Amino acid sequence: MTEPRRKNVPAEGARRNLPDIVFDKLARSIKSGAYADDERLPTEHDLAAEFQVSRPVVREALRRLREQGLIYSRRGAGSFVRSTGLRQPLGFGALQSISDLANCYEFRITLEPQAAAAAADRRTEADLDAIAAALADLRDATERQRHREDADFAFHLAIARASQNTYFATALEALKDHIAVGMQFHGASLKMAPQGLSGVYAEHAAIFEAVRAGKADLSRDLMQDHLIGSRDRLFTGRRAEI
C-alpha cells in the first residue's frame, strides 16, 4: 500500500496551523448563532487584527468556510453568513455509561461511512492534505508505540469535512468529547494486542487511499469495517474496566 506523502505537516508542538485555528473559531461562532443569517463578517483586516494573524491566514480560513458552506461572498461587499439551519450546538449530554458509549459507536457506524463515501466524491486537494497530515501524526505515534487520540479524531473530522456536508462535520464536532472517551479506551486496548497499533494505522491508511482515489463504495466499506472493528476491540473483555 502506498503511504501518503507528508505534506505541509506542522512541526511537533504546533500541529494545528493558524488557518485551522481561525477557521475553527469562526465556524464555532457561526454555528452557535453569534452571527445572524446573511450577516456580514468583519473585513479581512479586522479579522486579522482580532485573531492577531496575517491577512493571508484569514483569507485561507474564509476559503475553507466557503467550501464548508458556512459563508458566501459578494464581489466588493465581503463575506456573509449562510443560513444552514444549524444555529445551536447539538444537544448531546455527558457520557455516563457503557450503554452511552455503545450508542455513540452505533451512531458513528451509521454516520461516518457515508461521510467517507461523500468525501471520496467531493474531496479537494486541501482536504486530502488535512487528512494526510492527521494520518502522518498517527504514523509517527504508531512508530513510537503510542496512540494519539487527537490525531485519530483529526483524521475522522478531516474526512467528515471533506464530504462538503456541514452536517457530518458538525455532528462529529459535537460528539468530540464522547468520541475521545472511546478512543482512549480503544488506544489502551491496542497497546496490549500484538500489532494492534500498526494494524489500526493500516486501516486508517487504507481509508485515506480509497478517499484519495475517489472510490466511494470502498471508502464507505473500509470506514464501516474500521469502526465496527474498533467497537468490537474495545468492548470484548473490557466491560468491567470501562
For residue range 196-229, what is the model confidence (pLDDT) as tens digits? 788 889 999 999 999 999 999 999 999 999 999 8
Asked if 43 and 144 sit in the same domain, the reply is no
Q: How confident is the model at residue 189 (pLDDT cuts 50, 70, 90)?
A: low
The reply to whether 93 falls in a domain is: no
Whether pLDDT at 103 is above 50: yes
Identify the helix (H) or strand (E) that includes residue 48.
Answer: helix 44-51
Which pLDDT value is given to residue 205?
Answer: 97
Instruction: Give me the residue label for grid cell 462529529.
Output: 172
For residue 35, the domain's CATH number is: 1.10.10.10
Same domain, residue pair 103 and 183: yes
pLDDT band at 2 (very low <50, low <70, confident <90, very high): very low
Query: Contact 90/177 with Cβ under 8 angstroms?
Result: no
Task: Looking at the structure, tell me whether residues 169 and 68 fall in a common domain.
Answer: no
- Which is more confident, 99 or 120? 120
Radius of gyration of the chain (CA): 18
Judging by beta carbons within 10 Å of its beta carbon (0-12, 13-18, 19+), is residue 126 exposed, middle or buried? middle
The answer to whether residue 103 sits within a structural domain is yes
Q: Determine contact, residues 23/64, Cβ cutoff 8 Å.
A: yes
Q: pLDDT band at residue 8, thresholds of 50, 70 and 90?
A: very low
C-alpha cell at 237: 473483555
- pTM exceeds 0.75: no
Model confidence at 241: pLDDT above 80: no
Co-location of 145 and 222 in the same domain: yes
Percentage helix, strand, coil, to 5, in the chain?
65, 5, 30
Structural domain contains residue 4: no
Q: Are residues 51 and 131 in the same domain?
A: no
Lowest-confidence region among 4-18, 66-80, 147-161, 192-206: 4-18
CA atoms within 13 A on the CB side of 9: 18
Give residue 156's pLDDT: 95
Query: Domain containing 185 — which CATH number?
Result: 1.20.120.530
Q: Flag whether 38 is in a domain.
A: yes
> Is residue 152 domain-resident?
yes
User: Residue 240 falls within a domain, yes or no?
Assistant: no
Residues 127 and 183 grouped into a single domain: yes
Q: Over 50: is that where the pLDDT of 240 sits?
A: no
Q: How is residue 77 written as a grid cell?
A: 461587499
Do both 56 and 102 map to the same domain?
no
Q: Are 51 and 58 in contact (CB under 8 A)?
A: yes
- Non-local CB neighbours of 24 within 8 Å, separated by 6+ positions: none
pLDDT tens, position by position, 74-91: 888 899 998 765 544 555
Residue span of the structural domain in which 46 resides? 18-81
pLDDT bucket at 194, cuts 50 / 70 / 90: low
Looking at the structure, do residues 53 and 159 belong to the same domain, yes or no? no
Number of domains in the chain: 2
The answer to whether residues 122 and 193 belong to one domain is yes
